Amino acid sequence: MQPIELGRLRVTKVHEMDSPVPLLSQLPGTTAADMKRLLTWYDQPDEVNEDPETSFMTFSVHSWVIEVDGQTILVDTCCGNDKPRLLPEVDHLGTDYLGNLRRAGFAPEDIDLVMCTHLHFDHVGWNTRLENGKWVPTFPNARYVFGKRDYDYFRTDPAGEELHNQAFLDSIVPVMEAGRGELVDEDHVAHREIGDGVWLEPAFGHSPGCCVINAQAEGAPALFWGDVIHHPVQLIRHDLKFAFDADGVAASQTRKAVMERVADNDTLCFPAHFRRTSAGHVKRDGDAFRYQWIDNT
């Protein structure tokens, strides 16, 4: 996939892995009617069919690299290697993510800033890597910004969040201990020239401090929506609760608000888990929405 240029912004996708899981285990309310409607514009025969019982949800796990005004910003850092995880699919991974990053043109030393939309295990993993039995920051020259609200939540080791607490301990704490981490408010501005920049915006629900990241620089706006929407079928059913939303009602309201905001305008969306090119535009479709992937392969 080629980098995407939006004014002075250049955005590159760096893939870690695809992870298929039964659809109803993630989006339990999905109906056959939803699938039928989805298939009119989402055709991935290895993933979805008319029967939600036999359909899969295949998570693409990837990062986005934003280059703007000499800054190289890494958005979300996937699952990471060698990490002990309660979820077998992501336990002690050994992917070639850093090779993919290099092939996209970036060495770990090139990253100036790491931004995580939220502190779930699949968004913070490459913050650190294992070196001589110790977790060290993967991006030695980067400043890492973490939203305060998620940080304050996960540091308490909340019940039911053991998987994300594992990630907190090996992917957030070592960054803070190395003096590379900065806790920020959920409207933090990471970079700003007059009238544009890169900034966080609250999008609470999926996790208590979940954010989206806005970026704009003399071109169409870019919206890195993280996990506000996990799967294309949620554009048809914004009310579908994702099994791992911390607050399902708030997550659904946030999802609807984001879709309303970007529908039928030039905002280019960068979801955290959509497949293909991932990037695309949201279009109104009767009483719901649909997604139009950009084609730049």
Binding site for Zn ion (CB under 5 A): 122, 227
Query: What is the CB neighbour count within 10 angstroms for residue 253?
Result: 15
3-state helix, strand, coil in the chain (%, to 5): 25, 30, 45
* Nearer to Zn ion (CB atom), residue 26 or residue 128: 26
- Nearer to Zn ion by Cβ, of 122 and 245: the residue is 122
Please state the closest distance from residue 164 (CB atom) to Zn ion, in A.
Answer: 10
Q: Among 16, 34, 14, 15, which Cα is nearest to 24's?
A: 34
Distance set, CA 2 to CA 114, 118, 219, 269 (Å):
21, 26, 18, 16
> Which position has the token pair 């939006």?
6
Shortest distance, position 133 Cβ to Zn ion, whole Å: 28
Give the phi and the psi of residue 286 in degrees, each rounded to 5: 65, -125
Least distance to Zn ion, CB of residue 122, Å: 4
Nearer to Zn ion, 122 or 196 (CB): 122
Angle at CA of residue 283, ends 280 and 285, nearest 5°: 140
CB of 86 to Zn ion, least distance (A): 16
Q: Which is nearer to Zn ion, 67 or 227 (CB)?
A: 227
The full length of the chain comes to: 297
How far apart are alpha carbons 146 and 155 in whole angstroms? 12
Q: What is the smallest separation between the CB atom of 147 and Zn ion, expressed in angstroms?
A: 15
Of the pair 37, 123, the CB lying nearest Zn ion is at: 123
CB of 33 to Zn ion, least distance (A): 26
- Between residues 16 and 227, which has the closer beta carbon with respect to Zn ion? 227
